[in-house]
Structure 1
Amino acid sequence: MTGVRDRTALVLVLLLTWALAACGSGAGNGTGNGPVTLDWYNFPDDSGALQQAADSCGSASGGRYTIRYNKLPRTADGQRQQLVRRLAAHDSGVDIMGLDVTWTAEFAEAGWAREWTGPLRERASEDTLAAALRTATWKDRLYAVPYNSNTQLLWYRDDLVPSAPRTWAELLDRARQLAAEGKPHFVETQGAQYEGLTVWFNTLVTSAGGSILTPDASAPSLGEPAVAAAQVIRDLARSPAADPSLANQMEDQNRLATESGTAAFELNYPFVYPSMKANEPELFPHFRWAPYPAVVPGRPATVTIGGIDLAVGAYSHHPDLAQEATLCLRNRDNQLTNALKGGLPPSLRSLYTAAELTDSYPFAADVLAALDTASVRPQTPAYQNVSIAVAHALSPPSAVDPERTVAALSGQIRDALGSKGLIP
């Protein structure tokens, strides 16, 4: 009998411990014991904009919920890996999650993201940029709400060149001329073997009139536009315009190199503008912007859209509150703060003509024009495999042989879509 009493006591202790932990965890229960705590997983933000949004939405909820902002790893791959592990384990603690714009198809197909329907879908779509909504949609169903958008511009120094180049050929010619004159001449862009290289290639391919995958995403498309894109990458990598670190450079390395004064041009996101203003006040008056250079003369570039979409976890115990909180997190005020503090362009069209934004974003009209003609990366649940294949085939950029590289890449993409072979 002693053993039975001991086991009974142990069970009671465990049950009491579990109950206390549940009450103290803040993982709300909606029974009057305090506000529900919604866990929001998103990219790490050093500006304070995301924490400010979480706090303001919690305050505006009237005591029904608070939002706990959990920082994911800094790299997109690390962010995806953590979310995938949690959701594969049916983690109910993932209430709201920030998805890279390429993950929607994968998360929707896996059943990890809650669909937005009816009036909620209408509210999520209102005033939202069409290209941003495309990134959050899979098979005509909305699985996320665009939190912010992003696109690249051509940044240049007007003390080195009087006007911006309009094509890649012109860009490289200007860089060669500056190099011959002994002036700063590098063209900074993302050449490391990672997602940024895939983005560069996608922009070049679509700007040449093609696509990486067929419209139904069942097979590689590529063709001559991809060869033209690969030729641009090779031409830059083998010209004086190439930074010696091109094969290892990502967005922040591009920013730092430009701020150091060694570059004349930079293909990058708008976050470089406030950074230049803060870090290099002497260079800043000469830091200008222009549309992304065309691959084909007379055919404007179609720059790959970036950004973060907010999705509600399929296993959340509070999906209705999570959807309400998501709409608050991406509302006008929070997107404006995110743009001004974090340098991330909004997904709401009306903000691009708001004085609060244009005063600090003098390039707002150029960003909006780029987003209105933006290309979207291939939408497929196998996107991660496709992206890895693309970045591997094009790395290092100086080794690209346009015809051969594209031919080999076509086979690698076909294998990636069919989950065949080894992912490089």
Structure 2
Amino acid sequence: MRGARAAGRGLLVLIVLLAAHASAGGVTRGGGAGRGPLTLATAGDLTGYLGPLLGGWNRKHPGEKVTLVELPDSADETRAQMETDLRDGDGGRFDVLNIDVNWTSQFAAAGWIRPLSRTRFPLDTFLPPVVDTATYDGRLYAVPYVTNAGLLLYRKDVLAREGLPAPTTWAELERDAETVAPKYGLDGYAGQLMPYEGLTVNAVEAVYSAGGSILDDDGARVTVDSPAAREGIGFLARGVREGWIPREALTYTEEESRHAFEDGGLLFLRNWPYAYVAAESAGSAVAGKVGAVRLPGPDGPGTSVLGGSDLAVAARARHPDSAQRLIAYLTSEPVQRQVLTSGALPPVRAALYEDPALVRRFPYLPVLRAAVLTAAPRPKSPRYDQVSLVVQAIVHDCLTGRQSPDAAVRRLAAELAAVAKGQ
């Protein structure tokens, strides 16, 4: 009898606790646990595609409506505003975050985003390398939303006149940039070499393509001091020194380099696929004259850095179940198709890269698929912002001739070791 009374009191306490949890928002009226309205934070939506996608969700889920918050176009400013919100002692206002792939490790290590169950998302239907961008310390902390990989754009009309194929090695690229480009009044090759995140990407791609690395897989050990790193950084430094990379490229971001190619000033350009779409659009001086291949490497196609973004759930999201349901919706195949066709952003669903209708409309898709499948993420580190700043500063010093590739690599090893130790 005493046990029955204790059980009854326990049941009453449990009912009271559940009622309190429901009134606090843990359970919403008409919904399951953790369901309710959401706020999605993202960098500026330049093509305006995301609003209609979320409108489709809102019409079908009136009790879980999503409010879109567009932050600045600048990645650095977007990250700063997200960090401020995630540190907010009152819980913040963002529930779902559209984050750059190289922020996932930092946000996870800081405890700002929550781990997710792999079983809730069809990760086996994604391009395999993109899933790695969403993991940290062996756990899934986000879901890939869009991907990206650097491509080599080239003037196919010029190479055709010379009877040359697109380059697949650094030696072929260097030869054509030195000898063919001047015959047509063009500069040889450019990437994004201003000291900002783009230079980190270009430098890391060169190191990866030569078979090297920057950090080990968990970001704890510095691995950059290698012949491969000297070869990769040396390739870029030699290009500037010998002139087949114009010195003006040391001031280029994605947009400046895109305009230089689009205006007919470059034979070769490393950039993201959006630059191909822009160069082939009406008003471009090179429309109809552009080809795209994987980035070259020392002995054949090289390795691109994975770009794109992941969707994460804030650690203090008001309605975490709705947040994960929204992520599943945004990464479903029908919506991923719209991400490509309406937003011109590379999807993460593998099947879309082999859809004949999409390939006709976006002819770079097979090349991009191959580039993504062989791509690698940027160095994973909870201090990635510091890692990137070190790489930018030292590689730019090397490109401007202030120090040799050998000295640059030794300095990278020392300064990145200090970052890894938290100094």
Q: TM-score, normalised by structure 2?
A: 0.87
Aligned equivalents of 1:367 and 1:376: distance in 2?
15
Residue 189 (structure 1) shift: 0.5
Q: Deviations over 1:278-314 (max 9, x none)?
A: 24355211111112111x214x311111110000111
Alpha carbons 1:210, 1:225 under 8 Å: kept? yes
Say if 1:338 and 1:344, in contact at 8 Å, map to a contact too.
Answer: yes
- The answer on 1:265 being equivalent to 2:264 is no
- Contact 1:192/1:247 (CA < 8 Å) preserved in 2? yes
Report deviation, 1:32.
Answer: 6.7
Is residue 343 of structure 2 the alignment partner of residue 345 of structure 1?
no
Match of 2:153 among 148, 155, 159: 155
Residues 158 and 286 in structure 1, CA contact (< 8 A), matched pair in contact too: yes
SS in structure 2 of the partner of residue 381 of structure 1: coil
Q: What amino acid does structure 2 have at the position aligned with 1:115?
A: P
* Match in the other structure for 1:193: 195
**CA shift for structure 1 position 64:** 2.0
Q: Partners in 1 of 2:99 and 2:284 — Cα distance?
A: 34
1:237 equivalenced with 2:210 (yes/no)? no
User: Given that residues 137 and 218 in structure 2 are in contact (C-alpha distance below 8 angstroms), is that contact kept between their aligned partners in structure 1?
Assistant: no
- For 1:251, the aligned partner's letter is E
Partner of 1:85: 84
| Structure 2 counterpart of 1:44 | 44
Aligned length: 388
* 1:72 paired to 2:71: yes
Change (3 A) 1:257 1:402: same
Q: Which residue of 2 aligns with 1:3?
A: none
CA distance in 2, matches of 1:353, 1:140: 30
Counterparts of 1:49 and 1:58, CA distance in 2: 15
Once residues 179 and 126 of structure 1 are traced to their aligned partners in structure 2, the CA distance between those partners, rounded to angstroms, is 44
**Cα distance, 1:60 vs. partner?**
2.4
Letter in 2 for 1:194: Y
Correspondence for 1:107: 107
Does the CA contact (< 8 Å) of 1:152 and 1:267 recur in 2? Answer: yes
Instruction: Please state how far the C-alpha of 1:239 moved relative to its aligned partner.
Output: 2.9
Paired with 2:118 and 2:249, the residues of 1 have a C-alpha distance of 47
Is 2:292 aligned against 1:289? yes
Deviations 1:383-405 (A, max 9, x none): 11111100110115232510011
Q: Which string of whole-angstrom CA distances, capped at 9 and with x for unpartnered residues, describes residues 325-355 of structure 1?
A: 1111222222222222332211111111123
Residue identity over aligned pairs, in percent, reads 30
Please name the residue that 2:15 is paired with. Answer: none
User: Cα RMSD between the aligned structures?
Assistant: 2.0
Shift of 1:179: 4.4
Change (3 A) 1:215 1:66: closer
The AA in structure 1 aligned to 2:115 is: E
* Alignment check: 8 A CA contact 2:125 2:350 kept: yes
Query: TM-score if structure 1 supplies the norm length?
Result: 0.87
Match of 2:380 in 1: 379
**Are 2:279 and 1:276 aligned?**
yes
TM-aligned CA deviation for residue 44 of structure 1: 1.0
Q: Quick one: distance in 2 between partners of 1:113 and 1:233?
A: 37
Distance 1:87 1:216 in 2: 24
Q: Kindly indicate whether the alpha-carbon contact (under 8 Å) linking 1:179 and 1:240 is maintained by their aligned counterparts in 2.
A: no
Task: Give the residue type in structure 1 aligned to 2:316.
Answer: Y
SS of match in other structure, 2:267: strand
Aligned to 1:303: 304
**Partner Cα distance (1:291, 1:119) in 2:** 33
1:287 and 1:401, CA in 2 relative to 1: closer, same or farther beyond 3 A? same
Q: Secondary structure at the match of 2:375?
A: coil
Q: Which residue of 2 aligns with 1:329?
A: 330
What is the CA deviation profile of residues 77-112 of structure 1, one whole-angstrom value per residue up to 9, with x for unaligned ones? 111111111111143421100111111111111111
Secondary structure in structure 2 of the residue aligned to 1:161: helix
Tell me the SS of whatever aligns to 1:344. Answer: coil
Query: 1:156 Cα shift?
Result: 0.5
Mapping of 1:92-241 within 5 angstroms?
Answer: 92-117=92-117, 119-120=119-120, 123-162=121-160, 163-222=165-224, 223-241=226-244
Give the SS at the match of 1:181.
helix
Quick one: distance in 1 between partners of 2:276 and 2:339? Answer: 15
Q: Distance in 1 between matches of 2:357 and 2:116?
A: 30
Q: Counterpart in 1 of 2:371?
A: 370
Is there any run of 5+ residues in structure 1 with no aligned partner, and where? 1-26
Instruction: Provide structure 2 residue ranges, at least 5 long, that are not aligned to the other structure.
Output: 1-24
SS across alignment from 2:311: strand
Query: Matches of 2:410 and 2:371 in 1, distance apart?
Result: 30
Q: 1:383-422 to 2 correspondence within 5 Å?
A: 383-396=384-397, 397-399=399-401, 400-420=403-423
In the TM superposition, what is the alpha-carbon distance from 1:28 to its structure 2 partner? 11
Amino acid at match of 1:79: T
Shift of 1:138: 0.9
The 2-side partners of 1:395 and 1:118 are apart by 40
CA contact (8 A) 2:263 2:284 kept: no
Q: What is the SS of the residue equivalent to 1:221?
A: coil
CA displacement at 1:207 relative to structure 2: 1.2
Structure 1 residue 243: Cα displacement: 3.0
Residue 396 of structure 2 aligns to a residue whose secondary structure is coil
1:124 is displaced (CA, Å) by 4.4
- What secondary structure sits across from 1:359 in the alignment? helix
Distance verdict in 2 for CA 1:218–1:119, change over 3 Å: closer
Task: Indicate the SS of the match to 1:99.
Answer: strand
C-alpha separation in 2, matches of 1:366 and 1:309: 22
AA of the residue aligned to 2:44: P
